[in-house]
Amino acid sequence: METHSKTVHAFDYRTKITELQQAMLYVYDEADHRLPVSLLHHFEIDPDGNLVFCTNRLPVTASDTQQFAAELHFYQKGIPYHVRLYGSILVQMNGTGNLAYFKVHHSEVHGEEEKQNKYAFLKRWSIFKYLLPQQQPVAL
């Protein structure tokens, strides 16, 4: 099945990620490997569109203050779409936890167009099947 995605504007992804309410955080290392870091349930969105959250898990290479290329993958069971945010994350470590600031550079929504295309196809098919002559059962 072909996957469709579309780039969304800042206000679009803000409303969609608040509906989804959970995300998987990935960071990219020096070799561009995507490393899963943590599952996020609580985050805030500042007026600039940056996401602020706490995380206790970081890659082994992290120092006191570190900036990484990162990805947030928002999803929830039962919702027909998911959102991917690509950007950079600045992590500030302190005694109680790690405060992370995620700056969004690119955002995508996956899944909505597939559902809309499938619905349009089924609607066209239901109209088309009524135009076909009805087959009569064959008597033997």
What residue segments make up the domains of the chain, in order of their start? Answer: 5-131
- pLDDT at residue 3 in the model: 45
Please check whether residue 51 is in contact with residue 45, taking contact to mean a CB–CB distance below 8 angstroms. Answer: yes
Q: Which residues contact 24 (CB under 8 A, 6 or more apart)?
A: 36, 38, 39, 40, 72, 73, 75
**pLDDT tens for each residue of 28-64:** 877 888 888 888 888 998 887 789 988 877 665 555 4
Of the candidate ranges 4-18, 23-37, 59-73, the one whose mean pLDDT is the lowest: 4-18
Predicted TM-score (pTM) of this structure: 0.68
Residue-wise pLDDT tens digits, 94-134: 777 788 889 988 888 887 655 555 556 566 656 655 555 55
In the three-class reduction of DSSP (H, G, I as helix; E, B as strand; rest coil), residue 23 is classed as strand
pLDDT at 117: 54
The closest of 50, 40, 49 to 20, measured between CA atoms, is: 40
Using a 10 angstrom Cβ sphere, with 0-12 exposed, 13-18 middle and 19 or more buried, the burial of residue 26 is buried
The reported pLDDT for the residue numbered 4 is: 46
Residue 56: predicted pLDDT: 76
Q: The domain 5-131: what is its CATH number? A: 2.30.110.10
Looking at residue 87, its pLDDT comes to 92
Given this model, what pLDDT does residue 69 score?
Answer: 87
| Residue of 24, 21, 56 lying closest to 42 (CA atoms) | 21
CA–CA separation, 103 and 120 (whole Å): 36
